Amino acid sequence: MFYWSGYAVIFGYVSAYLSGKGLSNTMIGVVTAVVAIAATILQPMTASMIERGKKGALRNTIMIEAVIFTVADLLLLTAHEFPLALIILLYAVLLIVLEIMTPLLNAVGTISMQFGIAINYGVARGFGSGIYSLTSFISGKLTGRYGIDVIPVLPGIVFVLLLLLLIVNRDNLARLSHESPKTESVAEAKMSLMNKYPSFFIVLIGAVCLHTAHMNLNTFGFQIVQNKGGGTEELGLAIAIASASEVPMMMLFGLFRKKLKPVMWPFLAGIFYIIRTIGTMLTPGVAGFYVMQALQMFSWALLAVSSVFYVSSVVDPDDEVRGQAAFTTTLTIGSIISSFLGGMLLDTSGFNGMMIFTIIAAIAGTVIIGSQVFSKEKIHE
């Protein structure tokens, strides 16, 4: 809950915040691309460090990252007179920490289930989406009234609460060892995910494309809203609608997730990304954009909740943390592509140029993932 509240504001308003500080679309793209590159490097490094570490390494890593986020956010709150470069650096730290934390929190949930702890991941993630929606709506109202400098306030508050929650539950988290019973040889353990799970690797490529489309819609959401005639308040409502629409999918997915082969769900999410991106480009006003945002339920929400179970179903328990980190890394790679090309296209080809690129990415991702629908990769129930 606290994590997704911070994520909603820091990622949802990145373009509004940085453009308000005077950065062009291209420069915003460069900043978010550098962030994504850093996260892409740090995510697998962090996962490998945790897998090699002692019991409690996962807990300690999450707590350290929460501390870093809190300190950087509090500094950003006092950064009104800071040099622009330092403000950008602090915001980048917030983005990087959030990116790295995502697979770790996913791993806490899936590892807990493997150790017999009853967790309804969909309900938990759905509750997070509801909080995401509420936080986005409140932030839109606050930025509309007080300006962009108020953006770090809510993330600072919720991460202090998150840190306190982690401290209170530190003993319970320490019991979650990342070490499941070993079922493979040392030589096998050294195999890369690409060699060990070839179909999974192809799906990751498709996920990069879908996440490129997704990040275009997210990173440059402010510019999309402006194109439709809105501002920061409309952006807040648009984000709130999208995240609220996630809740039913997140909470109910567990009821029907076994009805189809695990890879089918990301494929269906891709189809809805195609519909959503085309609709976003063609809709003439803010009201139509709100409707397209509601399709987040069948695009991002379906991809996010199904990917966790998909990874758990196709990789061995020993590879769980790395597998979750690999899928999350597709989001950061997509962010790199989106940031560089999306920002540049906005400045050189305008809104339509950026959206055509977004549509192409959605189509490519859907086709690539669809190619694995009939793969013979083994499934862990």
Residue with tokens 């915001």: 91
Answer for the pair 84, 21: CB distance below 8 angstroms, yes or no. yes
Determine contact, residues 339/36, Cβ cutoff 8 Å.
yes
Q: How far is CA 215 from CA 8, 98, 111, 317, 367, in A?
A: 13, 15, 28, 30, 19
d(CA 152, CA 130): 20
Q: How far is CA 266 from CA 42, 128, 141, 234, 305, in A?
A: 25, 20, 34, 29, 9
User: Has residue 183 got a pLDDT over 50?
Assistant: no
The residues spanned by each domain of the chain are: 2-177+186-370
- CATH code of the domain occupying 2-177+186-370: 1.20.1250.20
- Which pLDDT belongs to residue 335? 83
Give residue 190's pLDDT band: very low, low, confident or very high (50, 70, 90).
very low
In the predicted model, what is the mean pLDDT of the chain?
A: 84
- In this prediction, residue 238 carries a pLDDT of 94
Say what percent of the chain tops pLDDT 70.
86
Helix (H) or strand (E) run with residue 372 in it: none
Query: 184 pLDDT exceeds 60?
Result: no
Amino acid at 295: L
Residues 296-354: tens digit of each pLDDT: 999 999 998 899 888 888 888 777 777 877 887 788 788 889 988 998 999 999 999 99
Euclidean distance between CA atoms 236 and 239, whole angstroms: 5
For residue 179, pLDDT beyond 50: no
